[in-house]
Chains A and B, each alone.
Chain A
Amino acid sequence: MKPARFEYVAAKTVAEAIDARSSFDDTVILAGGQSLIPMLNYRVAQPDAVIDINRVPGLDTISVDNGAVRVGALVRHRQLELSAEAFAAHPLLREALDNVAHIPIRNRGTICGSIAHADAAAEMPAVLVCLDGFVTAQGSGGERNVPASDLFLFHMTTTLDSDEIITSATFPALPKGSGYAFEELTRRHGDYAVAGICAVITPGPDGNCASASLSACGIAEKPVRLSAVEAALVGTNLSDDAVSAAAALVDDMVTNEDDGAGGRYRRQVARTLITRAVAKACQRAAQGRA
Chain B
Amino acid sequence: MSKMHVKMTVNGKPVEGLAEPRTLLIHFLREDLNLTGPHIGCDTSHCGACTVDLDGKSVKSCTVFVAQANGAEVTTIEGIANPDGTLHALQEAFREHHGLQCGFCTPGMITRAHRLLQENPNPTEAEIRMGISGNLCRCTGYQNIVKSITAAAEQLASMKEAAE
**Interfacial residues, chain A to chain B (CB-CB below 8 A):** 1-8, 10, 30, 33-34, 37-38, 40-42, 50, 52, 54, 78, 101-105, 107-108, 188-190
Contacts and interface: CB of A to CB of B under 8 A. Distances in A.
B134 A105 contact: yes
- By secondary structure, the A interface counts as mixed
A102 B134 contact: yes
B18 to A, nearest CB: 13
Given A38-B45, A41-B44, A52-B67, A107 B22 contact: no
Contacts of A102: 48, 133-134
15 contacts: A3-B22, A4-B22, A8-B65, A8-B67, A30-B68, A33-B68, A34-B45, A78-B57, A102-B133, A103-B134, A104-B51, A104-B134, A108-B64, A188-B133, A190-B134
Most buried by B among A5, A7, A52, A102: A102
Given A7-B21, A34-B63, A104-B48, A1 B4 contact: no
Nearest to B27: A2
B51 A37 contact: no
Contacts of A190: 133-134
B8 to A, nearest CB: 14
Interface in B23-74: 24, 43-45, 48, 51, 57-60, 62-65, 67-68
Contact of A8 (B21, B24, B60): B21
Contacts of A4: 22
Contact of B43 (A6, A10, A38): A38
Contact of B21 (A50, A107, A108): A50
Contacts of A108: 57, 59-60, 63-64
A104 B59 contact: yes
B138 to A, nearest CB: 15
A33 B21 contact: no
A41 B134 contact: no
Contacts of A105: 45, 60, 134
A2 B22 CA distance: 8
B143 to A, nearest CB: 17
Contacts of B162: none
Contacts of B163: none
Contacts of A189: 130, 133
B112 interface: yes
Contacts of A41: 24, 43-44, 62-63
Interface residues of B, number: 27
Interface of B: 1, 4, 20-22, 24, 43-45, 48, 51, 57-60, 62-65, 67-68, 112, 116, 130-131, 133-134
Contacts of B58: 103-104, 107
B65 A33 contact: yes
Given A105-B134, A190-B134, A52 B45 contact: no
A213 to B, nearest CB: 29
A42 B22 contact: no
Nearest to B129: A189
Nearest to B40: A1
B57 A107 contact: yes
Contacts of B21: 5-8, 50
A4 B24 CA distance: 12
Nearest to A40: B22
Contacts of B64: 33, 37, 108
Given A30-B65, A188-B133, 18 more contacts: A2-B43, A3-B22, A5-B1, A5-B20, A6-B21, A6-B22, A37-B64, A38-B43, A41-B63, A42-B44, A102-B134, A103-B131, A104-B48, A105-B45, A108-B57, A108-B59, A108-B64, A189-B133
A40 B63 CA distance: 9
B59 to A, nearest CB: 5
Contacts of B1: 5
A244 B19 CA distance: 58
Q: Which of B1, B58, B64 has the most CB of A within 10 A?
A: B58
Given A3-B22, A6-B22, A52 B68 contact: yes
Contacts of B133: 102, 188-190
A54 B134 contact: no
A37 B65 contact: yes
